[in-house]
Structures are given as C-alpha cells and as structure tokens.
Amino acid sequence: MLRSMVEARELYKSFGETQAVVGVSFSVPIGQIVGFLGPNGAGKTSTLRMLAGYLEPTKGQAIIDGVAVNDDPLLARRKIGYLPENCPLYDEMMVIDFLHFVAELRMIPPSQQNERLRPICDRCGISSVLGKDIGQLSKGYRQRVGFAQAIVGDPDLLLLDEPTSGLDPNQILEIRALIKELGKEKTIILSTHLLYEVQASCDRVIIISDGKLMADDDLETLMSRGTASRVSLLFGPGDGEVDATRIREVLASVPEIRNVTSRPSEGDGTLGFSVDAGGDGDSRPALFQAVAQNGLPLLEMYREQVSLEETFRKLTQGT
Ligand SMILES: Nc1ncnc2c1ncn2[C@@H]1O[C@H](COP(=O)(O)OP(=O)(O)OP(=O)(O)O)[C@@H](O)[C@H]1O
Ligand SMILES: [Mg+2]
C-alpha cells in the first residue's frame, strides 16, 4: 500500500451555528497532486487550515506524514508548506528580508540561508524583485513570493489555497507551471472553486459542498461523469437541404439517448443539436454510427463541457 502523506479522519469544524466542515475523510498518497474543489463557503479553507495545524477541529483528526496534527502541530507544520488564501505578507518588508525572516522561523542557520534561498527565488521567478518592498509588487509576483515562503522549509507537502485567484491569464499560466514543477517532488493539495483549474493541474479531485465530501475520484472518472452524457453535433448544409426532422429522428433512435434539442441557427445553413444520454458511458460511437449509416452530413461532434455547478448537480442528484 502507498504511504499516505495526508489522512483526514472524520474532520468536523463548527463556528457557532455554522457547520463549516462535516465529517470529511480522505487520504492522499505521497506524490499526488489533488484538487480540492468546492463553491464559495464549501469549507475548503477551513479544511486546509485544519490540515495545516492553524485551526483545531471540532472533532476528528488530521495526520500529516504519520504525525497527528493535534498532538504535535509544530512537528506537523514543519512538513507542510502552506499558501493561505490571499496570502498575508508584510507590505513594508523587502522581499529578500521577508524570505530571510521566514528562513529564520524555519530555523535555517543564517550561514546557510543564502544558499537555500537562491534556488527557491530562481524557481519562483522572483530573483529580479528581491530588493523591492512587498507592497510594490504586482499580484502575480506577490503570489510567487507566497509560494517561495511556502517552500523555504523544503516541505514534502504543499497546501495551496486558491493559488491563482485574482491573477491575470498570463500569471495564471505561470503559477500553474510552477505548481506542475513543484508537483514533481512534492505532494500537493490545491483548493479552488474552478473546475478547469483542477483539470490543468491535478491528478485527482476531491469535491466538497456545504462542508461535506461529495466526490473523490481521479480526474478522468469525474470528467466523464460530468461530461460524457451530453454531446453536441453540428450538421452542414452539404449539397442539398439538411432535414432537421430527419436528423432529430435518427439521433433519437440511438439507444440511451434521452433528449434531443436543437440549438439556435448560426445563420449559415448549419444545424446544431445537443443530446443527453442516460448512463455513464460515452454515447459518441453509437451516435457516429447512426449518423454515418443514415448518410447525415456531420461536420462536428464533441462532448460538451459542463460547468462545476452542473457536475455538482449530477453528483448529488438522485443518489
Ligand atoms: N473564522 C470563522 N468564523 C465564523 N465562520 C467561519 C469562519 N471561517 C469560515 N467560516 C464559515 O465556514 C464556512 C466555510 O468557510 P470556508 O472559508 O472554509 O469556505 P471556502 O470553501 O474556503 O470558501 P471560499 O471559496 O469562499 O474561500 C462558511 O460558511 C464560512 O462563513
Ligand atoms: Mg476559502
């Protein structure tokens, strides 16, 4: 069996009347990059803070690399690099001074700090801003400094709370590349409310909603649950008229297809349809066969990407 880096055992957290986390359990083997996905207020930050030893669970326990966080938060924290949500940094401090300060907290002897910090700064792309005050940095650079402080202690586990939130598209790509790079040697839990963020960076996804665990799957399984069942098709004008009624009949005749809807016309003579299939399988081969057998002028066919909300709906509906 793979050794676990993280074990969340029946974690509960209440704030007064609010039940932020309700019996969440999961384990993460060494080396995995896990997306921790959920809408606003789902309990992501609360869960990560409990794992990181900054929030005491109301019930349950977190175990980091064999260390119970409640029993020995300091030892557990040494194994963790934590990038909090909206990472609070000292605006008045110069980047380099701040990193030395963090190194100090991580008990790295002053004589070794430069050696330790140099590759981290290179890796995080902040070597050119070391002399600037943190308050002068752009959001993207701030976030990089947040990453740098998280890895100063060379932790085996990184807990990243919405690491790309508020960044522009270029900065998002840079941070994603950094996560991928760090993921080569570290176990990572990355929280986000964006499904595509998980798609871009993670092997596996844990979904929480209202403090409860809704799904824990590898990405492919989850994506197929969310997307396999709806397919878009576009038929071209071809030589003659395309017959919408005929197309509709053929699509509806495919086993498993429950629902055929036509999309508004693009005004170019093409006809678009969306179909919903029952079951979890991929309906595209059967659709293609029916279309080909009936000689319909197919231009495009693809699985529709569904939103996180729809995936949630599918995951929670009728179960
Ligand atoms: N310190 C606190 N005091 C009171 N309530 C809190 C506290 N921290 C979190 N909560 C509540 O617990 C619930 C879960 O919050 P949490 O911040 O964990 O969610 P989240 O998934 O991180 O949300 P977001 O995507 O908005 O960051 C929310 O209802 C929130 O209002
Ligand atoms: Mg949060």
- 149 close to ligand 1 (CB < 6 Angstrom): no
Q: Structure pTM?
A: 0.77
Give the span between the Cα atoms of 148 and 117, in whole angstroms: 9
Fill in the DSSP letter of residue 128. G
Q: Is 77 in the pocket of ligand 1 (CB under 6 A)?
A: no
* Whether residue 171 has its Cβ less than 6 Å from ligand 1: no
The CATH number assigned to the domain with range 228-316 reads 3.30.70.100
Asked if residue 226 lies in contact with residue 306, where contact means CB atoms within 8 angstroms, the answer is yes
Q: Ligand 1: does its nearest atom lie under 6 Å from the Cβ of 45?
A: yes
- Chain centroid to CA 80: 19
What pLDDT does residue 319 have?
Answer: 37
Listed as ranges, residues in the chain with pLDDT below 70 are 1-2, 223-229, 238-241, 279-280, 305-319
What is residue 215's predicted lDDT score, i.e. its pLDDT? 87
Question: Residue 132 has what pLDDT?
Answer: 96
Give yes or no for a contact between 303 and 220, defined as CB atoms under 8 angstroms apart. no
pLDDT attached to residue 300: 93
CA of 45 to the centre of ligand 1 (A): 7
- H helices of 125-227, in order, are 139-151, 169-183, 195-201, 219-227
Ligand 1 atom with minimal separation from the 48 CA: 18
CB 81 within 8 Å of CB 188: no
Residues with CB under 5 A from ligand 2 (ion): 44-45, 85
Structure tokens at 194: 């964006």
- The domains of the chain are located at 4-225, 228-316
CATH superfamily of 4-225: P-loop containing nucleotide triphosphate hydrolases (3.40.50.300)
Give distance in angstroms: CA of 177 to centre of ligand 1. Answer: 28
Q: Is the CB of 238 under 6 A from ligand 1?
A: no
